[in-house]
Amino acid sequence: MPRETIQIPRRIESLSILPYEGELDTELEPKIPDNDLRRLYKTMLSSRKFDERCLLLQRIGKIGTYGPTKGQEAASLGPMYAIGNDDWFVPSFRETAAMLWRGWPMSKILLWWGGNEIGASPPEGVNDLPICVPVASQCQYAMGIAWGCKLRQDGAVCVAFVGDGGTSEGDFHEALNFAAVYQAPLVMVVQNNQWAISIPRERQTRSKTIAQKAIAYGMDGFQVDGNDILAMIVATQEAVEKARNGGGPTLIEAQTYRLGMHTTADDPTKYRSEEEVKKWEPRDPLPRFRKYLKSKKLLDDKVEKVIEEEIDGLLEQAIAEYDQYEKDPYYMFKGMYAEMTPALRRQMAELREYVEGGESSEKPRGSYSRVL
């Protein structure tokens, strides 16, 4: 038998429209209404300001450990512009801009980071899942949702997000394999921010790109400039249209960068250089998009000041609403089941006795053992 090269009938493309240096590619530039462009910018700026405020809130103990999104706003927001409310959105935990676009109130996102389960309830009118921290586990949920959409033949598409570190988890690969085999309408967006906590991208895979992993599963792949919101919109629109018309899943690698720390429990200076961060700063999606809007006469200093004042007002309102919620340390026991089990009652009683330093009405008679 002769030795031949196997031809793989799949394509991997790279895409950039709004470069941080050079000229706009007008042939690829999407036709987006002016009002939508302004709204996209306001959402990106809202996400950035929310991010900055959350860092302050965490430092003064008002919320728990927080994962910043600075520098990754375009990677999550662009795909949201390409889907409707009937489509599904499955986030990881750096998709604040996407959540704001989908109608999540800032106060509800704050509640999630503050440990209140009310923050995990999506707003009415959209098919969204809450923030998911266990790495890559959301990939399985998204695959199941996409398969369900196909079985119901409702025309809906599922867009899910995962980080580059998540591509080393089995959940990611199982989800893509299943979605490809059953041609489920899934668009998997990998936010390749170059670092999985302290592990660099080159330690995650020997592949030249993450996008090329799509070939192994028999689907198309895109490597997109994830800091270019126009490119993210165009790539996702194409993938969504293909999925909606029965063409199966697509893998999108959004090339972006985590300008901040992994979380507020992390010190990135221990494992990456300041020179590397400085190299990526000019690629920041927010000033790139601002420059684009100014070139189209859709943004000036006066308009930007009005937008910033509106966002600042929304932030203050969100924090005030967050502060009004009762901080119930026992909610973690009450929210597990419709009716608390005896074991949970014992644990809650033990915590109450520890916190309040007195006898608890929940404490059972006699001695009890610690139930973990």
Dihedrals phi, psi of 186, to nearest 5 degrees: -115, 135
**Each residue's pLDDT tens digit, 193-247:** 999 999 999 999 999 999 999 999 999 999 999 999 999 999 999 999 999 999 9
Residue 358: its pLDDT value, please? 53
Are 354 and 368 within one domain? yes
For residue 76, give the nearest of 52, 53, 93 by alpha carbon.
93
Are 46 and 152 part of one and the same domain? yes
294 and 349 share a domain?
no
pLDDT at 52: 97
Q: Are residues 354 and 270 in the same domain?
A: no
3-state secondary structure 173-190: HHHHHHHHHCCCCEEEEE
133 and 193 in a single domain? The answer is yes
Of 308, 324, 340, the domain-final residue: 324
Domain stop point among 324, 343, 360 = 324
The domain in which residue 19 lies consists of 12-324
Distance (Å, whole) CA 44 – CA 38: 10
DSSP designation for 84: -
Shared domain for 74 and 212, answered yes or no, is: yes
299-309 mean pLDDT: 97
Three-state SS string over 37-70 comes to HHHHHHHHHHHHHHHHHHHHHHHCCCCCCCCCCC
Q: Do the domain assignments include residue 27? A: yes
Q: Which of 262, 288, 346, 352 is catalytic?
A: 262
271 is catalytic: yes
Interval 177-182 mean pLDDT: 98
Residue 102 has pLDDT above 50, yes or no: yes
Asked if residue 197 and residue 166 are part of one domain, the reply reads yes
What's the CA gap between 259 and 175, in Å, rounded?
29
Residues 133 and 269 in one domain: yes
Of 11, 59, 203, 271, the active-site residue reads 271
Tell whether 7 is covered by a domain.
no
Nearest to 106 by CA among 59, 36, 41, 53: 53
The Cα-based distances of 106 to 53, 74, 81, 112, 318 in angstroms read 11, 18, 19, 10, 6
- 186 and 146 in contact (C-beta within 8 Å)? yes
Are 257 and 345 found together in one domain? no
Poorest-confidence range of 5-14, 48-57, 227-236, 352-361? 352-361
4 domain residue, yes or no: no
Tell me: do 217 and 279 sit in the same domain.
Answer: yes
User: Comparing C-alpha atoms, which of 39, 97, 99, 108 is closest to residue 307?
Assistant: 39
**236 and 164 both lie in a single domain:** yes
Closest CA to 107 of 45, 142, 57, 153: 57
Smallest CA-to-CA distance from 176 within 79, 75, 82, 250 is with 250
* 308 contacts: CB under 8 Å, gap ≥ 6: 45, 49
Would you say residue 316 lies in a domain?
A: yes
Q: Within this chain, do residues 307 and 333 fall inside the same structural domain, yes or no? A: no
Task: Choose, from 258, 283, 346, 352, the residue flagged as catalytic.
Answer: 258
Q: Is 368 known to be catalytic?
A: no
pTM for this predicted structure: 0.91
Q: Which residue has the higher pLDDT, 63 or 22?
A: 63
With respect to residue 174, please indicate whether it lies within any of the assigned structural domains: yes
For the chain, give the percent of residues with pLDDT over 70. 96
Domain-located, residue 1: no
pLDDT in tens, 41-75: 999 999 999 999 999 999 999 999 999 999 999 99
How many domains does the chain fold into?
2
Q: What confidence score (pLDDT) does residue 330 get?
A: 86
264 with 59: CB under 8 angstroms? yes
What does the radius of gyration of the chain's CA atoms come to, in whole angstroms? 23
Encode burial over 309-338: b for 16+ CB neighbours within 10 A, e otherwise. Answer: eebeebbeebbeebeeeeeeebeebeeeee
Residues 36 and 80 sit within 8 Å (Cβ to Cβ): no
| pLDDT, tens digit (0-9, with 9 covering 90-100), for 323-347 | 998 778 888 888 778 899 999 999 9
DSSP H stretches of helix in 223-341? 229-244, 274-280, 285-295, 301-324, 331-334
Can you tell me the mean pLDDT for 265-292? 96
| Parallel, antiparallel or unpaired: strands 186-192 and 158-163 | parallel
Catalytic-residue membership of 258: yes
Confirm if 108 and 119 have CB atoms less than 8 A apart. Answer: yes
CATH number at residue 95: 3.40.50.970
- Greater model confidence, 337 or 148: 148
